[in-house]
Structure formats: C-alpha cells, structure tokens
Chain A
Amino acid sequence: MAMTRRLLPISVFALLMAAIPFIPGMPPFWIVLLNNIGLAALVAMGLVLLTGVGGLTSFGQAAFCGFGAYTTAVLTTAYGVSPWLTLPLSLLVSGGAAVLLGLVTVRLSGHYLPLGTIAWGIGLFYLFSKLEFLGRNDGITGIPPLSIGTLKMLDAGTIYYAIWIAVLVCALLSMNLLDSRTGRAIRALRRGHVAAEAFGVQTPRAKLLVFIYAAVLAGLSGWLYAHFQRAANPTPFGAHAGIEYLFIAVVGGAGYVWGAVLGAGIVVILKEILQSYLPLLFRGEGQLETIVFGILLVLLLQLAPTGAWPWLMARLPFKPAAKRPDPSLTLPARARPALAPGALLRIDNARKQFGGVIAVNDVSFEVHAREIVALIGPNGAGKSTTFNLITGVLTSSGGTISVLGRNIDNAPPQEVARLGIARTFQHVKLVPDMSVLENVAIGAHLRGHAGAISSMLRLDRADEAKLLAEAARQIERVGLGDQIDQPAGSLSLGQQRIVEIARALCVDPILLLLDEPAAGLRHMEKQRLAALLRTLRDGGMSVLLVEHDMGFVMDLADRIVVLDFGTKIAEGTPDAIKSNPDVIRAYLGAAA
C-alpha cells in the first residue's frame, strides 16, 4: 500500500512522458527540447544532492559531463566499441575523476569548495579543447547512435525514451538514497560536521560519496548527450554550462529531486524563448539572453530563494504521508564492554590551550558506572571545552582521557561514539527542516548497516525500519511522541534540547554527556527530565551533565565537579559543594 502511494505520482508522470511523442502533430523540435530538459535534469539532480541537500556547491559539474561524453566518443569512434559497453566506462571515468578531484576538494570548507570547482572546471575545459586525441576545439564527430537490435536511435524521438528512462530511474534512486540511513548522513552535512560525527557519521566519506554520485549522474548525462548529438566538442562542458546547471538547481528548488526536473524545464524553455524573441525585441547583436539570464538569476535569489518546487508543493491539495514506524521492531542492543570495576570515564590532567588562553587546566575527575555527575562552574569555566575534549571534537594539549581503561586521547569523534558515549550540544545542532523522527534516527547511525547502493535499490528496508522504530521509541521515552512528524526547527528551543537527548539515547550509550539540557525548559519539564535521567541511571547508564540550574543539579547529581577558569576547584556530593567556601567565592565573589 505504502509502495503504491509512493510510486503512484511517478508512474503517472512516466506514462505522461511516454505518451508525449504520440500526440498527433507534435513538432519534432519540442521533442528535442524535452531531450535537452532531460539531459540537464540529470546533471541538476546530482547538484540537488550535492548542493541543495549536502551543502557542497560545485560549479564544475559540466566537466563531469565532458568526461562521460568524451569517454564514449573516443571509444566508439577510434576503437569501435559498442555504445552500450561504453556506458559503464563513461560512468567509471566520471566517477574516477570525481574521486580524484573530490579527495582534494570536498575537505575544503565553505567557500573554498565552490572556488576550487570553478578553477578545475575551467582547467578541464581547456584540457578538453587542447588534447589531440579529443579533437581539440573541433571535438569528435561521427559518434554512432545507440541501438537495440535493429532499432537505431537516430532521431530525437527514439533517444527521447532512453533519456527519460534514465531521468526517471535516477530520480527514483536519488529519492531512495535520501530516504535512508546514508541519506540522513548526507542531509546532516549541510548543518556542519560536528553533530553528525558525534554519532559516528564519517563526514568526509559521506561528502565524497555524494560528490561521486553527482559526478556519475553528470557522466550519464554526458554519455547520453554524445549519442544524442552524435558529436562532442568542448563548448557544452565549459564554465558557463557549469554555472547554468547550478542555476537550474536553484530555480527548481535546490533541496528537491523533482526540483531538478522542474528547474531544467523552466530554464531550457526560458532560454529557448529568450534566444528566439529577444533579438526581435531589441534588434541587437550578441548575447542578449545571457544578460537577461544573469539578471533573472539575481532577481530569483532576491525574491524566491527556495525555488519553484516547494512553492508548487505548498499549493497541492494533498500532503505526503508521514512515516509510521512499526513499534514491534527492535534493534539489538549494542555489544557492551564488560563493566569493569573502577571508573567508566577517567579524565587525568586534561589540558586545552587556545594560544595563550588555558581553557582547561590539568583537570582530573572520574565518572563511575550508574552515576550522575554534574560539571558546574561560572561562564567560561571550561565545561563545554571539557565535553569537546572527551568527545574528540577538540584535540587536547595534554593529559589523558580513558573510557573503561581504554585510552581515547584525541580519538576521532566517530570512535568515541562507537564506545558508547553520546552527547548533546550547548547550541542545539539539529537539521531544522528534517522531521524529529529523522533527526533522532541519526543517533542510531552506528547501529544500522545499509550502505548507499542497497539504499538506492531499497534493499535496506528491514534495517531502516528497525532504525526508525528505535528512534520512535526514544522519542516516546522523552515524551515528544506528539511532535514526531514535525520539522525539528519548528519546536521550542527547550523541546529541541530534548530531541537531542532522544538522539543521544539512540546510540544505546553507556555514558550520556548532556550540555545544559534543562536550559529553556519549564518547571514541569525539568522535573520530567530529572525523572528520566534517574531512570536511565538506574537502568545502568552514567550521565555527565553541564548545567547552570542549581536546583536541578543539586536534586539530581550524585556527585558534582566544579570548574573555575579552567581549573577544578572542588568535587563532592551536592551537600558538600553547597557549603564549600571556594565554590561560594567563585560564584558570588570574595565578599560573600
């Protein structure tokens, strides 16, 4: 049932597209336009995943089309290889190029990435136009058409089916990919890497994956283009084409797979209209359509930055169905290391210096099994920095940190998560446009196994259903069952902190690190939170929390560690801390 509901709109669209060439009196030129739309949509779809969803902007996608097109052009003309055999090779070459360029570029942060892509995009364009065996500026002509049996796809009307089948299949694969464990990891990338890594996502690998995926889609488009035009020359693979693909993705709505198709339709048709009518209006020479194009791009960003697809969807009478996880499914508990006697977490002379500032100054304390320890101190005491040292977000300047006797100094965050240490953040790090359910499911990342390929082919459903069921269970547990389908960004800040706790619980942790969990909560909510943490402790979990609400801390904690200016000034039971003169001085000043 769910299957048919999901596939129904796509099937209708597919039938519609299949019928178009049979419309009597259909001008052949329109079919050519539709082919161009399909080819552009393929590249833009890759950009949707790369830029809109993953937050990695590339101006260089046209170069990957070039790899696809030239691979088949050379192999079919110079070596007589069958076009169908060159398809995997084209994809392999564009994917391989993406691996090389991706290893270099995806690690770059922010604006370096798009700039890097402009540079190698132009470099590759010149390479295409100078290499002898690619025919230099003239390119390669006489590429054989695709053929099945005796049917040769010579005209626009037959290759039309090849192009649009590719578009539909890729759209389906892309949507499957996004709606999966790997997809959630990709969607989390846009909001920075710290949160995703805290739950075991290998962010560099996720970035490289989506980069390669986008390149392979572009390569496919290039391969189809070569057999559609039956020629390949450098022009369509240059910097301007790369810019245009990004424009298409933005026009359609950069976060939406179907936005790529819609955007391609709008831009290709608009360009056609501009090219045919502008010269009549302005009798001028030259690239008038480029001028209008540029101005439209700027206007669009100023007036409708989210693109056409979400605008269209908001006006549809029906809404997509929400996910209903099956509560009977359970994830097997993580294999736990045997709880050895002694400390669960031992921090020994941990130190962190930022230049001349010593944020954490040789701090030592322990957290034992089944214990709630609070880390308190005035603002700037080094509490969150200590959290970041434990979870591997920051590298320490000295000292050792060990979990169950195992040294985890400067282990990457993913490794720390694997040991069963889960955390929340002082500044909430959720993906605001993703539902509460999916945000929480990121916490279970390490407990699922499905990879990108099996997600695309929907072989991950059993694995995925268990992950979602676990996420739903933890959401119920923290008392947010009613908000499960809402976008996380629509919740109050206090509720978002609770969502973060649910996400951390999905790790099935042995130690929970909570950074100011009670901030922004109402009195009743705080009491519920305290009750939940006590239950967790009694169930065998340890909790280390940073909190400013003294009433909350004194009621809840078994032990308290007090930091001031990076140094531990006291440690003990709540009652001992309340009367400790050093603590009183730190909080209230010397006179008190």
Chain B
Amino acid sequence: MNTTIMLFLVQDGITNGAIYALLGLALVLVFAVTRVILIPQGEFVTFGALTYATLSAGAMPGTALLAVAMGAVAFGLDLFAGRRSLHRRLIARAFAINILLPVAIYALTSWIAGKNTPIAVNIALSLLIVAAIGLSLYRIVFQPLAHTSVLVLLIASVGAHLALQGLGLVFFGAEGQRGPSISDAAFMVGPLRFTGQSIAVYAVTIAFIVGLWLFFGLTLYGKALRATAVNRLGARLVGIRTTLSGQIAFLLASVIGAISGILIVPITTLYYDTGFLIGLKGFIAAIIGGLISYPLTAVAALVVGTVEAFSSFYASNFKEVIVFTLILPVLVLRSLAAPEVEEEKD
C-alpha cells in the first residue's frame, strides 16, 4: 500500500480520534461522578457546533432560548424541592444560576446576533449557552434520579437524548451547517498538510487530558468528585455536596462536548443528529477504557479514529458497521479478563 495514503489516513484518524478522545473523557468523567451514561453528550456536540455556526452566520440560535426555558424549569424544581425551608439565600442562589445567568446570556446573544462579531466572542457565547443547558439538564433530569440504579439513569439519559435531538431539529433545521475555521494557517510536513484547525484539535485534546488528570489527582474538588462516584452516602457524610459534584461534572461535560463540536464544524458538515453518532464513537473509546481510565480512553479513541479512517477508505459502505463492531472483541476480552463482580442491585 501507498505510504502517502497511509500517512493521510493516519492523520485523518488521529484528528477524528482526538475528538472522540475528548468526548470519551467527558463520558468517563460524568459516569465516574454521577453514574450517568451520558447519551446526550452527542447533543452537546451538535448544540455547540450549530450554535457557533448560526452565530457566525449572523442569526439568533434557538439554543439560547432553550437555556432560558430549562433554567426556568430548574428554578421551579429548586423551589419545589426546598419548599420546606425556603430562605432568602437559597432563593437568591437558585435565581442567579437558573434565571439570571441564562437570561443574561440570552440578552447578550440577541444583542450580538447579526453583528459581525469576532470568532472568539461567538465561541465563548456558544460555550456559555451549552454550559447553561448542561447545568439545567442535570438539575431537571438526573438530580431527582440520583439515588436510582445505573439502568434507570441510562434510560433517562436516552429520554433526554431523544428530547434534545428533536429540539435540535426544531432549532437548526434538517440542513447541515459548517462554521468558519479558527485559523487559516497551514503548513506542510513532508506530504502531509497540517491546518491550524487540526493543530487546535490536538492542542485542546492534550490540554483537557492533562487538565483533567491534574484536576482529579491534585485538587480537593477533583477528589471530592471521585469520592462522590465511589459512595454517594459516604461522600455526603464527610461533607461533600454530591449535587454540586454532579453539577460540576455536567458543566465540564457540556463544555467539552461544545468545544468538540466547535472544533469539528469547520472540518465537516454537521447535521442536527450527527452528534449522536460522534458521541457513540466516543462511547466505544470510553467502554474500551472501562469507563474509568482517562489515558486508556484517549488511546482507544485514537484507535477508533484510525480504524474509521482506514475503513472509510477501503470499505466506505461498511465504515459504521466496522467501527461499531470493533466493540465486540473488546467486550469479549473484557469479559474474559475480568470476571463479573457481584453488584448489589436495586
């Protein structure tokens, strides 16, 4: 086989793989902290990407309004949950997070929309919008179910995915969109062309891997998050606010998802439902990493990306089939290597 083609495919695979790695990391993070298998991760990707693309096209993204609506519901839930001991601080805090923040973002967005704003502003605003949605999503869907089994959380996760994907179609339509690239710089190394965009993908991925590793290994918040993952009740007894841990995890996951989307929307056309498939490939990486290991997940993501690149070249029709069946040998190996452990269910 031709070396140049191979190099191209590897490069392509690594760029895709880096995105899957980011998503895989977010999935591992959310699962480790909240036990939620975050199917709507893919919607964070599309929402981030298409919000950015819409803003860049000078239009008003529907997601800003969604953030306000979800914030209002979350505020209602906060008030209802705390109805027995309503005091001013609690109301003020809930109001600030759930109402003021999304409304401010909405106001900013509608003020900016249509103006020729710099790319950085559009990116920042897209991240803010998706972050607000992610935060409310945890409050509305998963916080009331925090005590239930992984399975119930998973089904709820699928429900959230369905609803958000449907909303994505309403906001962005069935047409695919592309966004402007972050940088037009490009240089050649041998036969390979590296664009500023692909360099950005690598840099952001590495930054997040190192950042998460430091966050969980060294900071008190990181350790608190891990403690919550191991034992909710135990964590509460030593004074960790488990709800806060969940919020942080979802905040990080939604920002990571949105960044991934913004990074790839200049490279590939994204549709309202593309995120689901991209997210699932992140999943395959996360499962290979056993839903616990960050480095293993990152490596697995690169493998998934490379396999995808090669199979789209050699058997483009069966690209998805190959990528998704990749998981089967991994599962076999996992089940042979680690026999099932007893879990206390229900």
Which of A120, A190, A284, A297 contacts B328 (CB under 8 A)? A120
**A364 to B334 CA separation, bound complex (whole angstroms):** 35
Q: Which of B4-19 contact A (CB under 8 A)?
A: none
Shortest CB-to-CB span from A54 to chain B, Å, is 12
**A122 B320 Cβ-Cβ under 8 A:** yes
What 0/1 pattern do residues 105 to 117 of A give for CB contact below 8 A with B? 1011111101110
What 0/1 pattern do residues 422 to 434 of A give for CB contact below 8 A with B? 0000000000000
**A305 to B155 CA separation, bound complex (whole angstroms):** 11
**B340 A193 Cβ-Cβ under 8 A:** yes
> With A119-B284, A130-B318 as given contacts, are A297 and B155 in contact (CB-CB < 8 Å)?
yes
Contacting residues, chain A, for B284 (C-beta < 8 A): 119
**A284 to B166 CA separation, bound complex (whole angstroms):** 12
Contacting residues, chain B, for A287 (C-beta < 8 A): 165-166, 169
Residue of B nearest to A132 (CB): B317
Contact stretch, chosen from A7-15, A165-173, A262-270, A288-296: A288-296
Contacting residues, chain A, for B154 (C-beta < 8 A): 57, 111, 114
**A130 to B287 CA separation, bound complex (whole angstroms):** 26
**A286 B170 Cβ-Cβ under 8 A:** yes
Is B1 an interface residue when CB atoms closer than 8 A count as contact?
A: no
Is A461 an interface residue when CB atoms closer than 8 A count as contact?
A: no
Number of A residues, CB within 8 Å of B? 51
Is B252 an interface residue when CB atoms closer than 8 A count as contact?
A: no
Residue of B nearest to A242 (CB): B158
**A115 B283 Cβ-Cβ under 8 A:** yes
What 0/1 pattern do residues 26 to 51 of A give for CB contact below 8 A with B? 00000000000000000000000000
What 0/1 pattern do residues 144 to 188 of B give for CB contact below 8 A with A? 110010111011101111111111011001100000000000000
Q: Which of A262-320 contact B (CB under 8 A)?
A: 284-298, 301-302, 305
Contacting residues, chain B, for A288 (C-beta < 8 A): 166, 170
Shortest CB-to-CB span from B156 to chain A, Å, is 5
> With A119-B327, A286-B170 as given contacts, are A294 and B160 in contact (CB-CB < 8 Å)?
yes
**A291 to B164 CA separation, bound complex (whole angstroms):** 7
Q: Which of B115-168 contact A (CB under 8 A)?
A: 140-141, 144-145, 148, 150-152, 154-156, 158-167
Contacting residues, chain A, for B327 (C-beta < 8 A): 116, 119-120, 123
Is B321 an interface residue when CB atoms closer than 8 A count as contact?
A: yes
Is B3 an interface residue when CB atoms closer than 8 A count as contact?
A: no
**B320 A123 Cβ-Cβ under 8 A:** yes
> With A130-B321, A294-B159 as given contacts, are A107 and B340 in contact (CB-CB < 8 Å)?
yes
Which of A104, A119, A192, A250 contacts B345 (CB under 8 A)? A192
**B167 A301 Cβ-Cβ under 8 A:** no
Contacting residues, chain B, for A119 (C-beta < 8 A): 280, 283-284, 287, 324-325, 327-328
Is A243 an interface residue when CB atoms closer than 8 A count as contact?
A: yes
> With A119-B284, A130-B318 as given contacts, are A291 and B150 in contact (CB-CB < 8 Å)?
no
Shortest CB-to-CB span from B341 to chain A, Å, is 6
> With A290-B163, A298-B163 as given contacts, are A104 and B340 in contact (CB-CB < 8 Å)?
no
Contacting residues, chain A, for B291 (C-beta < 8 A): 111
**A438 to B150 CA separation, bound complex (whole angstroms):** 28
Contacting residues, chain A, for B162 (C-beta < 8 A): 240, 243, 290-291, 293-294, 297
Shortest CB-to-CB span from A133 to chain B, Å, is 13
**A302 to B169 CA separation, bound complex (whole angstroms):** 26
Is A329 an interface residue when CB atoms closer than 8 A count as contact?
A: no
What 0/1 pattern do residues 42 to 66 of A give for CB contact below 8 A with B? 0000000000000101010000000
**A301 B155 Cβ-Cβ under 8 A:** yes
**B331 A108 Cβ-Cβ under 8 A:** yes
**B163 A294 Cβ-Cβ under 8 A:** yes
Shortest CB-to-CB span from A239 to chain B, Å, is 8
**A109 to B341 CA separation, bound complex (whole angstroms):** 7
Contacting residues, chain B, for A285 (C-beta < 8 A): 169-170, 173
**B148 A305 Cβ-Cβ under 8 A:** yes
Which of A112, A290, A292 contacts B287 (CB under 8 A)? A112
Shortest CB-to-CB span from A297 to chain B, Å, is 3
Shortest CB-to-CB span from A531 to chain B, Å, is 33
What 0/1 pattern do residues 307 to 330 of B give for CB contact below 8 A with A? 000000000011011011101100
Shortest CB-to-CB span from B272 to chain A, Å, is 9
Residue of B nearest to A195 (CB): B342
Which residue, A105, A122, A192, A292, has most C-beta atoms of chain B within 10 A? A122
Is A153 an interface residue when CB atoms closer than 8 A count as contact?
A: no
**B343 A107 Cβ-Cβ under 8 A:** no
Which of B159, B169, B342 contacts A193 (CB under 8 A)? B342
**B151 A114 Cβ-Cβ under 8 A:** yes
**A112 B151 Cβ-Cβ under 8 A:** no
Shortest CB-to-CB span from A223 to chain B, Å, is 24
Contacting residues, chain B, for A114 (C-beta < 8 A): 37, 151, 154
**A292 to B173 CA separation, bound complex (whole angstroms):** 18
Residue of A nearest to B338 (CB): A109
Which residue, B156, B158, B166, B167, has most C-beta atoms of chain A within 10 A? B158
**B345 A191 Cβ-Cβ under 8 A:** yes
Shortest CB-to-CB span from B343 to chain A, Å, is 6
**A305 to B320 CA separation, bound complex (whole angstroms):** 34
Contacting residues, chain B, for A108 (C-beta < 8 A): 331, 334-335, 340
Is A18 an interface residue when CB atoms closer than 8 A count as contact?
A: no
**A301 B340 Cβ-Cβ under 8 A:** no
**A194 to B342 CA separation, bound complex (whole angstroms):** 7
Shortest CB-to-CB span from A263 to chain B, Å, is 13
Is A552 an interface residue when CB atoms closer than 8 A count as contact?
A: no
Is A127 an interface residue when CB atoms closer than 8 A count as contact?
A: yes
Q: Which of A43-93 contact B (CB under 8 A)?
A: 55, 57, 59
**A191 to B342 CA separation, bound complex (whole angstroms):** 9
**A301 to B164 CA separation, bound complex (whole angstroms):** 17
**A192 B158 Cβ-Cβ under 8 A:** no
Shortest CB-to-CB span from A586 to chain B, Å, is 29
Which of A57, A120, A291 contacts B324 (CB under 8 A)? A120
**A115 B287 Cβ-Cβ under 8 A:** yes
**B159 A297 Cβ-Cβ under 8 A:** yes
Residue of B nearest to A291 (CB): B166
**A57 B331 Cβ-Cβ under 8 A:** no
Which of B148, B159, B324 contacts A122 (CB under 8 A)? B324
**A101 to B150 CA separation, bound complex (whole angstroms):** 22
> With A107-B335, A118-B280 as given contacts, are A290 and B170 in contact (CB-CB < 8 Å)?
no
Contacting residues, chain B, for A192 (C-beta < 8 A): 342-345
Which of A109, A126, A193, A292 contacts B318 (CB under 8 A)? A126
What 0/1 pattern do residues 235 to 265 of A give for CB contact below 8 A with B? 0000010010011001000000000000000
**B335 A301 Cβ-Cβ under 8 A:** no
**B321 A123 Cβ-Cβ under 8 A:** yes
Contacting residues, chain A, for B170 (C-beta < 8 A): 284-286, 288, 291
**A104 B331 Cβ-Cβ under 8 A:** yes
Which of B150, B152, B323, B331 contacts A110 (CB under 8 A)? B150
Residue of A nearest to B339 (CB): A107
**A15 to B344 CA separation, bound complex (whole angstroms):** 44
**A294 to B151 CA separation, bound complex (whole angstroms):** 16
Residue of A nearest to B141 (CB): A298
Which of B151, B277, B287, B344 contacts A57 (CB under 8 A)? B151
Shortest CB-to-CB span from A459 to chain B, Å, is 32
Which of B160, B167, B173, B332 contacts A298 (CB under 8 A)? B160
Show the binding face of B for A, using Cβ within 8 Å.
Answer: 37, 140-141, 144-145, 148, 150-152, 154-156, 158-167, 169-170, 173-174, 277, 280, 283-284, 287, 291, 317-318, 320-321, 323-325, 327-328, 331-332, 334-335, 340-346
- Known contacts A57-B155, A294-B163; can you find 13 more A-B pairs with CB under 8 A? A104-B331, A104-B332, A107-B340, A108-B335, A108-B340, A119-B328, A123-B325, A192-B342, A250-B155, A286-B166, A287-B169, A291-B166, A301-B155
Across chains A and B, which 3 residue pairs bring their CB atoms closest together, nearest first?
A294-B163, A294-B162, A297-B159
22 interchain pairs, CB-CB under 8 A? A57-B151, A57-B155, A59-B158, A107-B340, A108-B335, A114-B37, A114-B151, A115-B283, A116-B287, A119-B325, A119-B328, A123-B327, A194-B342, A246-B158, A286-B170, A288-B170, A293-B163, A295-B159, A298-B156, A298-B163, A301-B159, A302-B156
